[in-house]
Amino acid sequence: MEIEKSNNRLINDLVAIIEEGKNQLAHAANATMTITYWKIGKRINSLVLDNKRAEYGKQIVVSVARQLTAQYGKSFEEKSLRRMMQFAIVFTDEQIVATLWRQLSWSHFKVLIPIKDELQLNFYTQMCRIEGWSEKTLQKEINSKPSSLLITVQL
């Protein structure tokens, strides 16, 4: 009986350690992916914007997407690259992104990127960070136009 109880405690402890490790690994992978996507968006934007020719820029993105998709898969299709470019435009400061990716996932950023109003963008970003909103909660709050929380903050 005592051995069984000891075994159960050990198993519970080991399960907790494994789960914590898995969570840390997932968080580290997401953080790395998010900053990588931001850097890709920033790099493409700098090339396209420096050239200042819309048609040239469009061709670059299509060509790069084709090559990266062949090498790395669907995550680098044209639509995804354009989202990365928007990400780097909406969140211009790498330090801010570096701070946020510790608490927000790439999925959060994908929901935040389309928000045009800077006050709303800052509000929802901070609510995710402070309240630990999931992507689904964030989407629900954004879709409840206008958010009762945002109205309260604006008053």
Q: Could you please report the per-residue DSSP string of 49-118?
A: HHHT-HHHHHHHHHHHHHHHHHHH-GGGSHHHHHHHHHHHHHS--HHHHHHHTTT--HHHHHHHTT---H
Q: Hunting for tokens 């995804």 — which residue is that?
A: 80
pLDDT in tens, 112-127: 999 999 999 999 999 9
Provide the 8-state DSSP code for 134: -
Give residue 145's pLDDT.
67
- Over residues 9-25, the mean pLDDT reads 95
Give dist(CA 41, CA 59) in Å, integer.
Answer: 15
Is the whole-model pTM more than 0.85?
A: no
CB 41 within 8 A of CB 84: yes
Structure tokens belonging to residue 8: 């159960």
Query: Burial, 146: exposed, middle or buried (Cβ in 10 Å; 0-12, 13-18, 19+)?
Result: exposed
* Per-residue pLDDT band at 15 (split at 50, 70, 90): very high
3-state class (DSSP) for residue 154: helix
Q: Has residue 52 got a pLDDT over 80?
A: no
CB 84 within 8 A of CB 67: no
Nearest CA among 37, 149, 28 for reference residue 83: 37
Query: Burial, 88: exposed, middle or buried (Cβ in 10 Å; 0-12, 13-18, 19+)?
Result: buried
Q: Within a 10 A sphere around the Cβ of 90, how many other Cβ atoms? A: 18
